[in-house]
Each structure stands twice: as structure tokens, then as C-alpha cells.
Structure 1
Amino acid sequence: MFTIPNILSFLRLLLVPVFLVLIVLAQDGYALLVLVVSSITDYLDGILARRLNQVSRLGQLLDPAADRLFIFAALIGLAVRGVIPWWLVAVIVGRDVMLLALGITLANFGYGPLPVHHLGKVATFCLFYALPILMIGQAFPAAAWITAPIGWAFALWGAFLYWWAGFIYLAETIRLVRIPRVDAQSESDTLGR
């Protein structure tokens, strides 16, 4: 549990509320600095986990949780300040609520989480860039003429791809839960042998 990669992931989780407070208080330069530190620790925990052979289930859960929390913190902080509209927050959070419901449904039918689709990764990538780029325009208003269109392009593409991937997850969940329970049980028995 207390491996170097997991400690770095815990550090990232601890930085989320600091990041949120800095955004809400319009301390965008400091918020960007926290984001840079978080990005470096994110990069390092992945490399160290592989190089030190310390890949763990806990680390596999902490890393995406920290990523999601940073996105949510940025969304909420920027929406509170009026930098982004609340509808964008609702679009992105709504998709994650849908995925939570799908995960519960899959668990009730005896399935684990679905594998991450490449569209979901691309969408997260877009959102990871959109929000800091928009923050750069807030921290350095002279750059807003270039950061605003680029940030919004990433944000809108990210939201679109986020939902596209969400519909793929929805279709796969529907397909799995329609498999008769007997077939699903015999399939899992066959896989276990």
C-alpha cells in the first residue's frame, strides 16, 4: 500500500482541494502550479510503478480517481467564477453519473467494470488540456485571445467524445445484461477452467 507510486497518487488526491480553492479564489497562477505538480507526480507514479514493479490494484484505482477529481475541481471552480457555463459541468458530470449507474448494473449482473475504450481516453485527454488552457487565459489575460478558442475547442470535443464513449459503454452494458443468466454462468464457468 505504501509504495512510492501510491504515495505520489495520495499526494495528487491531497492537492485536489487545494487546486479547487485556488481556482475559486481566482489564484489561477498558483492553481496552474498545483496542476503542473500534479501532472509531474502523475507521470512519475506511472513510470515508477512499472520500473520498480510496484503496479498495484490500489494504484490502478487511485490514478484515475485523482484524474477525475482534478477535472471535477476545475469544472466546478471555473463554473463558480463564470469562466465556463454550468451546462458544460452538467454534460460532463452527467456522463460520469451514467457510467456509475452502468457499473452498478454490471455488478448486479455479476460483471466487473468494462475495459476503457480509446474514445474515453481521447475525451479525457481533451478535457485535461481544455481546462488548464482556459485557466491560462484567466491567469494571463493577454493570452486569452489564443487560449480561449483553443481551450473551448478541446472542451467541446472532449464533451462530445465523452458522451460518444458513454454510449458505447451503454450499448455494451445492454448487450451483457441481455445474456441469459444460465449462459453467463456457464460462460464464467468455462472461462474459469
Structure 2
Amino acid sequence: MTIRKKELFTIPNLMGYFRILLIPIFMYIYLNAQSVTDTCRALFILILSGITDFFDGIAARKLHQVTQLGKALDPVADKLTLGAVIFCLIRTIPGIQYLFAVFAVKELYMLAGNLISMRFHGKKLDGAAFIGKASTMITYWCLAFFLLFPHMPRLLQLILMMLCGGMMIAAGLYYLPTFYHFIKGD
């Protein structure tokens, strides 16, 4: 992927960089929270990231600034944000480290599948399928509930973690035949 200098500083790409810069800010505020107000500030950072994510896609299309960098940057910002939030919740939500493990394995599998496909056959996924987008959206919503209600009933915590994990696994399995065909050379 060759990146032209003018592609680096498009409005949508600047929003993507901004989302990535929000990650350590979120982590710092959340991990050092001393009150509900601090936790709400961290949640506000996450909501700001989500709003920016929503508008960067619209801006890219409306301003005709869809770039290869932007197509790569957007999912990277999503995955880094989700991973950071799940990681931060490990200290407050018992068992969420297993969700983090599912998330990490799925994302490493997706990365490896794309890299192997690109290396040997010049093919890669062209955007997320509906199930991948649904998995990301559901995970964001569930994580927001964990942030807002860290002391929710244990059964509800388990249901939300299983929902997220199940969606991640389903999304990963959905791409399995695609990667198989890419690697096989079909």
C-alpha cells in the first residue's frame, strides 16, 4: 500500500488519528478514577471516540476522501479502543480476562489471515462484513454497560460477556472460508 502525502491529512484520517490518541487518555482517566464522575469522564471519552468513528465514515464519503490509509486506520482504531476498554475492565469485572483472550485471539487470527493472504495471493478483506460490524457494535454497547454499571448482577455480567465472546467467535468463523479461499488461491 503506497500512501500519498495528501492522504495522510484528510479530515477522516485526522479523525482516525484523534480516536487513537483518545485511547491512552481513556485508559489514564479510567484506571485512575476515584469517583463515579471520573468514570463518567472516561465513558465520555469513549462516546467521543464513537461519535468520531461515526462521522469519519460519513466525511470520507461526502468529501470524497476515502483512502486506503483510512480503510486500514478505521478498523485499527476500533480494535485498539475495544482492546483497551476490555483490558481496563479486567480489574473490575471478574472473568472479563477471558473475553480479552477471545478478542486477542480473534484479532490476531484476522491479522494473520489478511497478512498471509496478501503475502501469497495479493488478496485481503475489503471492509467488514455485517457480522463483523454487528460484533463490534454489540461489544461497544456491552462495554459501555460495564463502565456505567460495574456492580450489575453477576448473571447479567456473564450474559453480556458471553454475548460479546459469541459474536467475536461468530465473526471470526464467518471469515474462515474467505481466508481459506484466499490462501488456496481461488
Q: Equivalent residue of 2:149, what SS? A: helix
Aligned CA distance change for structure 1 residues 109 and 117 (closer, same or farther; 3 Å):
same
SS for the counterpart of 1:55 is coil
Contact 1:92–1:159 under 8 Å retained in 2: yes
- Do the aligned residues in 1 keep the contact of 2:103 with 2:165 (CA within 8 Å)? yes
Q: Per the alignment, in what secondary structure is the counterpart of residue 123 of structure 2?
A: coil
Range moving further from structure 2, 128-137 or 165-174: 165-174
Higher-Rg structure is 1
Equivalent residue for 2:165?
159
Cα offsets for 1:137-173 (capped at 9, x unmatched): 13xx6xx46x982x65444222112112212222322
Query: Tell me, which stretches of 5 or more residues in structure 2 are unaligned?
Result: 1-7
1:21 alignment partner in structure 2: 28
Deviation of residue 55 (structure 1)?
Answer: 1.6
Amino acid at match of 1:14: L
User: Secondary structure of 1:54's partner?
Assistant: coil
Aligned residues: 173
What aligned pairs does 1:16-165 form with structure 2 within 5 A after superposition? Answer: 16-26=23-33, 27-79=38-90, 81-85=91-95, 86-115=97-126, 116-138=128-150, 144=152, 149=156, 152-165=158-171
Percentage of matched positions with identical amino acids: 30
CA distance in 2, matches of 1:178, 1:112: 11
Q: Aligned partner of 2:93: which letter?
A: V
What's the TM-score, normalizing by structure 2? 0.82
Q: Alpha-carbon deviations, 1:25-58, whole Å to 9, x = none?
A: 2331111110121122222222222222222222
With over 3 angstroms needed to count, the CA separation of the structure-2 counterparts of 1:176 and 1:37, relative to structure 1, is closer
Counterparts of residues 4-19 of structure 1 (less than 5 Å): 4-19=11-26
Tell me, yes or no, if the aligned pair for 2:102 and 2:168 is still in contact at 8 Å.
no
